[in-house]
Amino acid sequence: MADKIKDAKIIFVVGGPGSGKGTQCEKVVAKYGYTHLSSGDLLRAEVASGSERGKQLQAIMQKGELVPLDTVLDMIKDAMIAKADVSKGYLIDGYPREVKQGEEFEKKIGKPCLLLYVDAKGETMVKRLMKRGETSGRSDDNEETIKKRLDLYYQATEPVITFYESRGIVRKVDSELPVDEVFNQVSKAIDAL
């Protein structure tokens, strides 16, 4: 089972909150048939299940903090194994959030062949998240939590991009552009794999 995953293409999708990761991943799924795994969505599903673990996660996420590394990684791994037979590749969206998460992923699962860096300005991300908050029902899409999530992104997640740049697998897309133009850039990066 783990071997199957090793052979599949693994793409890390990294960018700030509200940069457009989920939006682009949906389009990649439609065009390339990749499996989209959003760490945030997996965690929110656990919260929605009402489990004891979900309750602890909810408290952490509401504060805009990172949940324990092993919890996220186990969830991603389980979800990857569940799709191993049908998946051409995996979009790992919103992970790694910090360099250590990337290192652990590689130890336990495999190496990414591409890091898609979905880049947007801080003010753009805030605007998009405030708008998304009107309908998303996400308890972390509020002004106070958004600010914390952005701070954490710059402090913990941007170093992830630097880390993988040294390996030459980072492709940056300009997510200030309209969705379809961003997707053109995303497609070019995937076509080159």
Please report, in range form, the residues annotated as the binding site.
Answer: 18-23, 39, 44, 65-67, 94-97, 101, 132, 138, 149, 177
In the complex, minimum distance from the CB of residue 66 to ligand DAT, in angstroms, rounded to a whole number? 15
Among 14, 18, 37, 126, binds ligand DAT (CB under 6 A): 18
Longest dimension (CA), the chain: 44
Q: Is 85 helix (H, G, I), strand (E, B) or coil?
A: coil
What's the min distance (Å) between Cβ of 1 and ligand DAT? 28
Known binding site for AMP: residues?
A: 39, 44, 65-67, 94-97, 101, 138, 149
Establish if 101 lies at the interface with ligand DAT (CB under 6 A).
Answer: no
3-state secondary structure of 155: helix
Among 67, 182, 189, 190, binds ligand DAT (CB under 6 A): 182
Q: Does 23 bind ligand DAT (CB under 6 A)?
A: yes
Contact 17, 175 (CB under 8 A): no
> What CA–CA distance (Å, rounded) separates 113 from 170?
9
Q: Are the C-beta atoms of residues 23 and 179 closer than 8 Å to each other?
A: yes
The answer to whether 24 and 186 have CB atoms below 8 angstroms apart is yes
Separation between Cα atoms, residue 145 and residue 64, nearest integer Å: 5
Residue showing the smallest CB distance to Mg ion in the complex: 22
- The interface with ligand DAT within residues 107-166 (CB under 6 A) comprises 128, 131-132
The amino acid at 165: E
The site that binds ligand DAT (CB under 6 A) totals a number of residues, namely 16
Q: Which residues bind ligand DAT (CB under 6 A)?
A: 15, 17-23, 128, 131-132, 175, 177-179, 182
